[in-house]
Structure 1
C-alpha cells in the first residue's frame, strides 16, 4: 500500500468542483519516483503485468510510441541515474537488477527472477514500457496535443476506470463518465495543447474509498457497499485516502506529452493526522454534489464520514 507522502493538501478546495486544477511544476521538481524490490507498489504492478497485461499495456492502431518512450527514458535517466540509465546499448534498472539489451531481458547479478519472467512473457514492443512501469511508481500515458486523444497507455494502477476503454479516445470521451464534468470537458482541447508545450505541469486528485489496493480496475474492485451498520468511527477505520499526483513530460519536436500518474492509498485515520487537513476534506466533502458522491461511491458514507471528519478537525 502506498502512502500519501507528496500529496499537496492545498489542492483540496471548497466548494468542491470537478476541474482541471493544473499548475506549473516547480523548477527541478522530480516527476518520477523510483522503486526498489519489496516496495508494495512494485508488487502490485508486477502482479498486474503478469496476470492482466492486455488491460494495462495498450496502443491505438498505427501509433508509434518511440519518440514518447525516448523522452520518458531520457527524463528518467536525468532525474534518477542511479535507478535508470543507458549503457552499452541497453537500458538498465539497477535497483531492480534487470536490463533490456534491445528487447531481451537480462539479469544483473542476483536479480529476482519474477521480473524477468514477466518481461519475457510480454510482446517485445511492450518490454521497455513494462520495465519503466516496474522501475518507477508512476504509470504512463501519451497525450497528443493536435487531436486531444490518448493513443497509448501503460497503466497498471487505474482508479476505477478501465484503460482498455480509454485508449485512442478523445479527452472529452475519456472524461464523459465523470460526474459534473463540464469544466473538464470544455477545457479538454486547450489542456491537451497546453501540457504538450515545453512548460511542465502537475495536478493532484483525491477521494475517499473503501478499497485498500492500488490496483482498482473496475473488473477487480470489490463491489461490496459501505457497511450500513458501521458507526462513523468504524467506517473511518475502514476507509482509505486515495490520491494521484499527475505530471506531464513534453516530447521534444512533437505535440505530445507523457502523462505520469502516481497513485497512493493510505488509511484515512493515518492520512489526516492534522486537524487542518481533516477540516479541508470535511469542507470539500460537504460541498460535493449528489452526482459526484454517487460517481465516487460516497453517497452512503457521506454523513458518517462528515461526522468523523468534523471531530478529527476539532
Structure 2
C-alpha cells in the first residue's frame, strides 16, 4: 500500500502531500495474528490500553465506527464483518454483540479474548478493530479541525495522549519545517471530510525495527556500524488515508505502519538513489527532528554505494 516511488522524492519537503485514492483501492488491511504488528498491538492493549484508546470528553464516536465497520466489511470481510447484530472477527474467532458482550467461537484467540474482555465495554469495539485490522485510527472533526478520538497502538515517536482533542495545528506544532502543514490545517481537515477520498505517505529511517514506537515505551535505539546498515537500519513507512463522513463533517483517519530492513526497502539501485537524494536534501531542522543528523554522512555513503554511479 505504501508507494515508495511516489513518496520518496527530492528535494525533501514536509508537506501534506495528499493525492486522490483510485476508485476501489482498499484503505483497510486484514491483520494476521502471526504478523509482528499483531503481537505489538496486543501488548499495548493489554499493558497500556489508555495510552492508545482515547477520546475527548463528550465526543460520540459511534457513527464513525459504524462507517469504519461497514468499510472493513466491504474491503476485507475476512478480517471483520457483521452477522446479524454481531461483529465477527473471523481470524480471531471472536464475536462482539451490540451490547459489547464477547463470545469465543471455535478456535478463538484466547489472549485476544482476555485482552478485549479487560477493556471497558465502551472500548471493546475499538479494541477489536485494532486487532482485526492492520491500521490504527483517529477521527477527524472537520468543523473544529481537531482529532477528538484515537485508537493508536503503533505511534511513530509520539504519544497519542498529547494529541487527542487538539487542533491539527497544535498536533503538528512539533514537526520540523511545518509552516505549510500548519497554515493549511483548517482547509485540509475540511477537505478530507468530503469525497473524493485522499491518501498520503510518510517515511523515516531508524535503528529500531519495532512497529510500536511510543516515546515512553521505546528507547531511540543505537545506530549500527555502517557495514550493518542494510539489516540494522529500518525503513519505517506509513500509508495514511481518510474515509469521509460528509454528513457529519468527519473523517476516519487510517494509519498503516510498515517496518522493514533498509536493504529490503531499497531493493533496486534507482530506489537507493531516490532515498539518497531525499536524505541529502533534508534541512538541518528535519534531520534533527528525525534524529538523522549523526548518521547522515555514513548513511549517504551507504546509499550511494548501493545506488551505483549517478545517472548522466
* TM-score range normalised by the length of the shorter chain: over 0.9
Could you say which residue in structure 2 is the equivalent of 1:67? 63
Could you say which residue in structure 2 is the equivalent of 1:22? 18
- Offset, 1:224: 4.2
In the alignment, is the contact (CA less than 8 A) between 1:71 and 1:250 conserved in 2?
Answer: no
Could you say which residue in structure 1 is the equivalent of 2:262? 268
Could you say which residue in structure 2 is the equivalent of 1:196? 193
Tell me: higher relative CO, structure 1 or 2? Use CA pairs within 8 A at least 6 residues apart. Answer: 1
Could you say which residue in structure 2 is the equivalent of 1:47? 43
Could you say which residue in structure 2 is the equivalent of 1:76? 72
Once residues 223 and 277 of structure 1 are traced to their aligned partners in structure 2, the CA distance between those partners, rounded to angstroms, is: 26
Structure 1: gaps spanning 5 or more residues: none
After the TM superposition, which residues 252-263 of structure 1 pair with which residues of structure 2 at under 5 Å, given as runs? 252-263=246-257
- Offset, 1:82: 2.8
Could you say which residue in structure 2 is the equivalent of 1:139? 136
RMSD across aligned positions (CA): 1.2
Q: 1:252 to 1:184 in 2, by over 3 A?
A: closer
Structure 2: gaps spanning 5 or more residues: none
After the TM superposition, which residues 41-190 of structure 1 pair with which residues of structure 2 at under 5 Å, given as runs? 41-102=37-98, 103-190=100-187
Of 232, 240, 249, the residue aligned with 1:246 is: 240
Once residues 270 and 39 of structure 1 are traced to their aligned partners in structure 2, the CA distance between those partners, rounded to angstroms, is: 17
Aligned residues: 307
> Which SS does the other structure have where 1:219 is aligned?
coil
In the alignment, is the contact (CA less than 8 A) between 1:90 and 1:101 conserved in 2?
Answer: yes
| Runs of 4+ deviating beyond 6 Å | none
Q: Deviations over 1:2-27 (max 9, x none)?
A: xxx64332111111100000000000
Q: 1:83 to 1:224 in 2, by over 3 A?
A: closer
In the alignment, is the contact (CA less than 8 A) between 1:235 and 1:304 conserved in 2?
Answer: no
Once residues 269 and 229 of structure 2 are traced to their aligned partners in structure 1, the CA distance between those partners, rounded to angstroms, is: 18
Once residues 224 and 206 of structure 1 are traced to their aligned partners in structure 2, the CA distance between those partners, rounded to angstroms, is: 17
TM-score, normalised on structure 1? Answer: 0.95
> Which SS does the other structure have where 1:250 is aligned?
strand
- Offset, 1:252: 4.7
TM-score, normalised on structure 2? Answer: 0.96
In the alignment, is the contact (CA less than 8 A) between 1:7 and 1:243 conserved in 2?
Answer: no
